[in-house]
Structure 1
């Protein structure tokens, strides 16, 4: 164990990692070659280990601090770190989604080169955005069809209302001539999904308000930021800067994170936000449920597969394996 260095802890590919942590009121430090967080109990201090080799993102909330030594080990293990408010939102880096990303001089370049190969062409960038939207819907159908818990809560991909909404979405997505058309179509579908989820969980009259304090809106904000963490991790591993968005606009520095996060938000975050709100769950209960859903349905792996396929679609060789960085 004494011969183990942080760089040896990266055997688990990022797409296979299972952990995303939110910590508050604690101190993150390095001790005996491990990254720990320290909480202060009434009579004693308690140390808990963070398994960094199997972790993608570390969110630090209220009352947290972190040492330089811990940051060094997290960076060597490829863990992204973000400072945020209570409950996981908002992320404190201005109004954009940005992260403290590990430094590496050996980042892969093929995915960035492939991405830029189409990104400056409006038609090709629109095609990539359409592919994102189609992948998003395919993932929703796959998850809602096979997730028994969601079906028991009333989320059925075969429901006539959902099928009609998705048919309209597919038709308008294929006919879109610019990214603003896609954003309008996305907003219309999301509004229908919100209404469907609210009625399925007995929360009629729901209105999406990002600043609202009701549980459904709060859980949606919280879950979305967890999805942003996975999306940021995916893009960092593949070496694609967050500014090269295909749908959310070229003027937002973190816009590509939103594009990638959207792949899983409707399928997983949206239903569980309403289900947990109906059950009166705590923030921690909701977070655990969503993270378990991410793991069960291999959400991060799906993000990697989708982004890699779009980045390399113009290349003649087959897509290479995920880089081990």
Structure 2
């Protein structure tokens, strides 16, 4: 059987693949991880390049063998069980994901995180720093992304500029995480309104339970971003419970904090664009994955999280 040492080493921050699978069986065969699909005519096997994969979401009608899980773990691939279309997650370890067992991940980032996390004021400053990085990333990507510009999304549009200016002012002035969350919700609502206007979906209302395409794509894309965030935290050895912004009552909240670095930039506009174009879930998912790779989303998450771990005590 192929061992971890036989796999071509690819840093997690450079990996390109996220898989959503449904109506198939995931198994190990001849030292590879495959998924088997069946139709009336024949059975088909498809290879999963685990050394270049970050996350696998197993949707409806799936099963996975123990041998396959062992190989996925050896390659550091996170696994989650979910409903149709990639949401919601039904069962996973560490709240959001089933994480590979490894006792040889770094400890320096967790130790650095703990140096500031118990200080309320420093935790608030860390949350503010993440939100500033979120805005800077959005400015950089929206300015350079020609595909997004062709769809009418521009970082210098008046509505976007005003929303970002107002949010930056709020980030600097808020005195608590609750106030920051309120300002963040207002900012995201303004982006929804902008995207709805650009795609002529003015009747849009954000509802996690709604079945319209825009809401469905937002849910789906956000879970892909959560997968990248969970991978980042697992590799760096930081438990999901130590959030800086999203409540202390949910043990996976740090996943949401890290995913927020890229969600508005890469998921939100394309959820509306794909809804306007009546795209399929697969087409939308492919667009998201292309965006992650094109704009080095995983690299950005790793660097932001590592920087916070090593500099947080000096905030």
The TM-score with structure 1 as length reference comes to: 0.94
Q: In the TM superposition, what whole-angstrom CA distance separates every residue of 1:288-322 from its partner, at most 9, and x where no partner exists?
A: 11111111001011000100000001579xxxxxx
Q: In the TM superposition, what whole-angstrom CA distance separates every residue of 1:34-87 from its partner, at most 9, and x where no partner exists?
A: 000000021211000000000000000000000000000000000000000000
Partner of 2:118: 120
Segments of 5+ residues of structure 1 without an aligned counterpart are: 317-325
Number of positions where the alignment pairs a residue of Structure 1 with one of Structure 2: 314
Match of 1:33 among 25, 31, 34: 31
> Where does 1:133-212 land on structure 2 (aligned, <5 Å)?
133-212=131-210
SS class of match (1:151): helix
Kept in 2: contact 1:7–1:77 (CA 8 A): no
Q: In the TM superposition, what whole-angstrom CA distance separates every residue of 1:256-285 from its partner, at most 9, and x where no partner exists?
A: 000000000000100000000000000111
Task: Tell me the distance in 1 between the aligned counterparts of 2:302 and 2:5.
Answer: 22
Partner of 2:264: 266
Kept in 1: contact 2:81–2:90 (CA 8 A): yes
Q: In the TM superposition, what whole-angstrom CA distance separates every residue of 1:152-199 from its partner, at most 9, and x where no partner exists?
A: 111100111111111110011011111011100100000000000000
User: Would the alpha carbon gap of residues 97 and 273 (structure 1) be closer, same or farther in structure 2, given more than 3 Å must change?
Assistant: farther
Task: Tell me the distance in 1 between the aligned counterparts of 2:222 and 2:26.
Answer: 24
Partner of 1:319: none
Moved over 6 A (4+): none
Q: What's the CA shift for 1:8?
A: 3.5
Partner of 2:251: 253
Kept in 2: contact 1:35–1:49 (CA 8 A): yes
Q: In the TM superposition, what whole-angstrom CA distance separates every residue of 1:105-155 from its partner, at most 9, and x where no partner exists?
A: 112100000000000000110010001100111111111000001111111
Partner of 2:97: 99
Task: Tell me the distance in 1 between the aligned counterparts of 2:204 and 2:95.
Answer: 26
> Where does 1:46-57 land on structure 2 (aligned, <5 Å)?
46-57=44-55
Task: Tell me the distance in 2 between the aligned counterparts of 1:315 and 1:220.
Answer: 34
Match of 1:77 among 68, 75, 78: 75
Segments of 5+ residues of structure 2 without an aligned counterpart are: none
Q: CA RMSD in A?
A: 1.5
The TM-score with structure 2 as length reference comes to: 0.97
Kept in 1: contact 2:228–2:298 (CA 8 A): yes
